[in-house]
Amino acid sequence: MDLKLRKPPESSSLSSSSRNLKPDMPFVQFDSASLDHGVPRDQSFSEVFPQFVNQSRGVYVPETVTKNDLVIDWNPRLMLINLSFLEQKIHQVQDVVRSIISQEGHAFDRGNELAVQQQLVTADLTYIIIQLISTAGTLLPNIKNALLSTDPAVDRPDSGMGMNTNLSSGGGQKLNEILPQEVAKSCEYDELIKDFNACVGEGGELIKGLNHAGDELSESMPIDDHDVKDYDDVMDGENLPPGSYEVLQLEKEEILAPHTHFCMICGKGFKRDANLRMHMRGHGDEYKTPAALAKPSKEASSVPSIIRRYSCPFVGCKRNKEHKKFQPLKTILCVKNHYKRSHCDKSYTCSRCKTKKFSVIADLKTHEKHCGRDKWNCSCGTTFSRKDKLFGHVALFQGHTPTIPIDDAKVSGTPDTAQSSEATNGMVGNVGFNFSGNSPNDGQSLDIKSAAYSQGYFSPMNFDACNFSGLDEFPRSVYEVSESPFSFLSTGSCSFMQRNGEN
């Protein structure tokens, strides 16, 4: 699988692609960074081209270190500029292809010319794809997705560049040297460029080859719509042909085990290998060497040529390999989540709504972020996830009212203090109303409390003067007889009250 073997003969495409890159230098700014992050080290890649990875890493490692912060400032405007540029480009290629089509009928003899044109188209497409990948890489986590997104470009091949370009056959190495320095910053990027040069050089063969991990090399044919779409589908639905990958099935216990990495010395378990490595440091100096602390490299351990997929141990599940429409799971994490979600009890309950249950704690957390907040209800029965949407709706329609959730109503102002003070005033019996908003328990406890009060200290008190205009309108006469407990005082508000009552 050495790439160098596959590289097509030398051509002028190098110069074209390097020149093409120049107008849009803005790309460069985020290209490397995005690729570095957005494109995790894909297993298939490293599996397929281990040498390659090694090689490039050796060259570019120092630079990758500084790129972290670049990803933060992803600029949508810049992306838009890039995309529109690519659009133009695609139109140009379209024109070339149209011209090829128009020549098709009567140009059998000009096979040579056709070949040149094809190469020209592929060169341009290569460029477009690379740019698309780098653009998409800023957003998408997976290089595969990025690759997929390029297919519209490939769909509509054409010319436009009017170049005499023959496809680069100089191979990845050479391209690296010629490409602007900034573009070639990350090793992944290098890989890509090489891959694509290789792909294009093989006249599309390699695209398939790549994706099917070399198992299924179809016969050499020019890139056309059908071909690319096919490739697309394969990746999308994970419709790997049976037998093209290795199926692993973990046991239930293995899936549900809280820890997957265990210390060889003390047996302690860890969820992450990195944590285990940190733990190992405590067991002696031999574990503190950079080599021991380094992340075990995948290419070293894994077999490059085989794609691994997983099967659910639950018999009858669609994800179980026995199922006739078996759909494999991609990663171990997928297996874990799938098994918990589909075949385990939902033991995590949302603390807010008390109804939603989850078996994966991450799902619960996601739900809790939104739970309760998306209850913006209108009197018409419509619910909204956002308050401003509800208010927009209410503002628009006559008669629609925001609806207050019932729990809110219950919480609000309980008349407890009121009740007890009322009891001391001897007013409770007077007016027979229920406190509908109160739970019966509340009422009872309060009653007891207030009763205790009135018996203990305050029952004889009734100093209230009857007064309805904010003023006491009658000076008490000195000689008035008062029956209040403080009868030695001058007032007789109680007796006055009674007199009022008679009327």
Q: Which long-range contacts (CB under 8 A, 24 or more apart) does 450-456 make?
A: 450/419, 450/420, 450/421, 450/422, 450/423, 450/424, 451/423, 453/420, 453/423, 453/424, 454/423, 454/424, 454/426
45 burial (CB, 10 Å; 0-12 / 13-18 / 19+) is buried
Segment 378-407, which members bind other proteins (CB under 8 A)? 387-388, 391, 394-395, 399-402, 404
Backbone angles phi, psi at 247, to 5 degrees: -105, 125
Backbone angles phi, psi at 455, to 5 degrees: -75, -40
Within 8 A by CB and 6+ apart from 149, the residues are 132, 133, 136, 140
Segment 457-476, which members bind other proteins (CB under 8 A)? 457-458, 461, 463-476
Q: Determine, following the binding rule CB under 8 A, whether residue 291 of this chain makes contact with other proteins.
A: no
Within 8 A by CB and 6+ apart from 478, the residues are 490
Query: Tokens at residue 131, please?
Result: 């740019």
Q: Determine, following the binding rule CB under 8 A, whether residue 301 of this chain makes contact with other proteins.
A: no
Q: How far is the CB of 427 from other proteins (least distance, A)?
A: 5
Q: Determine, following the binding rule CB under 8 A, whether residue 495 of this chain makes contact with other proteins.
A: no
Backbone angles phi, psi at 384, to 5 degrees: -130, 150
Query: For other proteins, how many residues bind (rule: CB under 8 A)?
Result: 63
Q: How far is the CB of 312 from other proteins (least distance, A)?
A: 46
**Dist CA 370 CA 366 (whole Å):** 7
Nearest alpha carbon to residue 119 among 202, 177, 180, 194: 202
Q: Determine, following the binding rule CB under 8 A, whether residue 214 of this chain makes contact with other proteins.
A: no
Q: Determine, following the binding rule CB under 8 A, whether residue 6 of this chain makes contact with other proteins.
A: no
At CA 163, angle to CA 161 and CA 166, rounded to 5?
125
Q: Determine, following the binding rule CB under 8 A, whether residue 481 of this chain makes contact with other proteins.
A: no
Segment 412-441, which members bind other proteins (CB under 8 A)? 412-415, 417-422, 424-425, 427-428, 430-431, 433, 435-437
In the complex with other proteins, which residue's Cβ is closer, 448 or 489?
A: 489
Q: Determine, following the binding rule CB under 8 A, whether residue 112 of this chain makes contact with other proteins.
A: no
**Dist CA 415 CA 419 (whole Å):** 6
Q: How far is the CB of 424 from other proteins (least distance, A)?
A: 7
In the complex with other proteins, which residue's Cβ is closer, 334 or 497?
A: 497
Segment 357-376, which members bind other proteins (CB under 8 A)? 376
Q: How far is the CB of 400 from other proteins (least distance, A)?
A: 7
Backbone angles phi, psi at 249, to 5 degrees: -130, 115
In the complex with other proteins, which residue's Cβ is closer, 440 or 501?
A: 501
In the complex with other proteins, which residue's Cβ is closer, 60 or 376?
A: 376
Q: Determine, following the binding rule CB under 8 A, whether residue 409 of this chain makes contact with other proteins.
A: yes
Which residues contact other proteins by CB under 8 A? 376, 387-388, 391, 394-395, 399-402, 404, 408-409, 411-415, 417-422, 424-425, 427-428, 430-431, 433, 435-437, 453, 456-458, 461, 463-476, 478, 486, 489-491, 493, 497, 500-501, 503
